[in-house]
Amino acid sequence: MEKIDKMWIAPLPTDSAYVKTFRLHYIQNGKEKSWDALKVHDSVSIVIFNTTRQKLVFVKQFRPLVYHSSVTSNGGDVANVDLEKFPIELGVTLEICAGTVDKDKSWREIAREEILEECGYDVPVDQLEEIFSYRCGVGTQGSKQTMYYCEVTDNQKKSPGGGVGDEIIDVVEYSVDEARAMVYQKGNINGPPSFLLGVLWFLMNKRSNK
């Protein structure tokens, strides 16, 4: 996963299919204001627990923008990067399974498909328990993400997972104790807040008396 040979920056084309920018103007209490923004798809995320082996199921992947941010915020230049000072692992995140709502299907169905594509478990939609919804990037885009909880078994494992198309995703498993140690350890977690939120929710609601 971590074999990256070269990295360089170019201007964003105006017809980017992924980052659609705009300036939002509004009048608040009689005063004109504006906010620069981009439009991002809503998304789903799923806390997966394998009850056969009592393991939480997460995904690891190289996130080029996390790497870029790590390098540039610490004085580096991605186009001429010192790989000893900024190893590629700085861009490898630990996340819960997730995906964007970019198809004309229900959110639960999209979550079900992400579990199969990324982690290889084929589960019925009614196995998904909705935890909560929140707003991502309130200062840059404001999209909605709904988080689900899903218990799976070894019998439901139908493929290795790993993503579709160009995706390169590693499926990793953590015991409950390993996950607990990770969220109690104060420090740098190379993953999104939804990862920490999902693990804390699981520990509070599914393992609070253990």
Question: What minimum distance in Å lies between the beta carbon of 188 and its own copies?
Answer: 5
Q: Which stretch binds its own copies (CB under 8 A): 48-56, 104-112, 115-123, 131-139?
A: 131-139
Nearer to its own copies, 156 or 179 (CB): 179
Q: How many CB atoms lie within 10 A of CB 100?
A: 15
Q: Does residue 78 contact residue 72 with C-beta atoms inside 8 Å? A: yes
From 29-37, 49-57, 108-116, 153-161, give the range in contact with its own copies by CB under 8 A. Answer: 29-37
> Under the criterion CB under 8 A, does residue 170 sit at the interface with its own copies?
no
DSSP of 68-106 = HHHHHTTT--GGG--TTTS-GGGGEEEE-EEEE--SSS-
Counting contacts by CB under 8 A, is residue 104 touching its own copies?
A: no
What value, to the nearest 5°, has the Cα angle with vertex 206 and ends 202 and 207?
Answer: 95
Nearer to its own copies, 18 or 160 (CB): 18
- Applying CB under 8 A, among 89, 95, 103, 106 the residue interacting with its own copies is 95
